[in-house]
Amino acid sequence: ETGVTQTPRHLVMGMTNKKSLKCEQHLGHNAMYWYKQSAKKPLELMFVYSLEERVENNSVPSRFSPECPNSSHLFLHLHTLQPEDSALYLCASSQESSGLETQYFGPGTRLLVL
Amino acid sequence: AQSVTQPDIHITVSEGASLELRCNYSYGATPYLFWYVQSPGQGLQLLLKYFSGDTLVQGIKGFEAEFKRSQSSFNLRKPSVHWSDAAEYFCAVAPNDYKLSFGAGTTVTVRA
């Protein structure tokens, strides 16, 4: 498998549930990203990891908890979410965490919080 | 404040016609500039990027973009659209690092 993959592709959860989103990149990259894409709003950068260390936490509520166990995998743990957290969550990776590097995106996880 | 504006929310174009999507940015200096495309159910794919040099940039799928410093613009063009070009297009800028700022996107519909 190539590129950036995300699972699950769709997720429905209640506000009291705990779930996790998974991202895997097969490109040998060192940086990984989580973005939130809400309807008719610009993509919002949530977290950035470089060499498995978090280098950016963009004022994201603590109900979102990222984890990067190695350079190929990135998780987003979700708990006690709100309906306004419903969105498409996109994972991306790049060779390094610099603006010169192209970010490659996965297909996203469509999340619905009831 | 730094910002990226895509003035057109939705554009409808006939197959075979030309397409131009507008992007304006507000930054203190010339940032890195990108255009991404998102097909339904897919992630974002990079079409082209501008860092420096020639202000007319060629990308994939027959797209090109022109950087105009005087207008703080980076408009995307394609001479003849195909039905497969129906998608959402995002302009993005990065000051000098990974922190991409995206516009709200332009949805392109292609009619037969």
Q: What is the pLDDT of residues A43-93, one digit of tens each?
A: 999 999 988 888 887 789 999 999 999 999 999 999 999 999 999 999 999
Per-residue pLDDT at A53:
86
> Which pLDDT value is given to residue B94?
86
> What's residue A99's pLDDT?
62
pLDDT at position B29 is 78
Query: DSSP string of A40-108?
Result: TS--EEEEEEETTEEEEE-S--TTEEEEEEETTEEEEEEES--GGG-EEEEEEEESSSSTTSPPEE---
pLDDT per position as a tens digit, B57-66: 999 999 999 9
Which of B98, B100, B106 to probe by mutation at the A interface, max A CB count within 10 Å? Answer: B98
Name B51's Cβ contacts closer than 8 Å, sequence gap at least 6: A100, B32
Q: Is B27 on the interface with A (CB under 8 A)?
A: no
pLDDT category at B82 given cuts 50, 70, 90 is very high
Q: Choose among A34, A88, A8, A91: nearest CA to B40.
A: A88
Contact assessment for residue A92 and residue A32, using Cβ atoms and an 8 Å cutoff? yes
Which residues from A are below 8 Å from B4, CB to CB?
42
Q: How far is A18 from chain B (nearest CA, A)?
A: 25
The candidate with the shortest Cα–Cα distance to B39, out of B88, B99, B111, B107, is: B88
DSSP letter for B61, please: G
Q: For chain B, how big is the Rg over CA atoms in Å?
A: 13
Q: What residues of A are in the B interface, CB distance below 8 Å?
A: 4, 6, 31, 33, 40-43, 45, 48, 56, 90, 92, 94, 97-108
b (16+ CB within 10 A) / e for A43-61: bbbbbbbbebeeebeeebe
Q: B91 CA to chain A: closest CA distance, Å?
A: 10
Contacts of A94 in chain B (CB under 8 A): 98
Q: Flag whether pLDDT at A2 surpasses 80.
A: no
pLDDT tier for residue B5 given thresholds of 50, 70 and 90: very high
φ/ψ bin of A91: left (φ > 0), alpha (ψ from -120 to 50), beta (otherwise): beta
Closest by CA position to B36, among listed B51, B24, B21, B25: B21
How many interchain CB pairs under 8 A, A with B?
61
Own/partner pairs, B85-88, CB within 8 angstroms, 24+ separation = B85/B19, B85/B61, B85/B110, B86/B110, B87/B37, B87/B38, B87/B39, B87/B40, B88/B37, B88/B38
B93 touches chain A (CB under 8 A): no
Q: Which two tokens stand for residue B38?
A: 């998102």
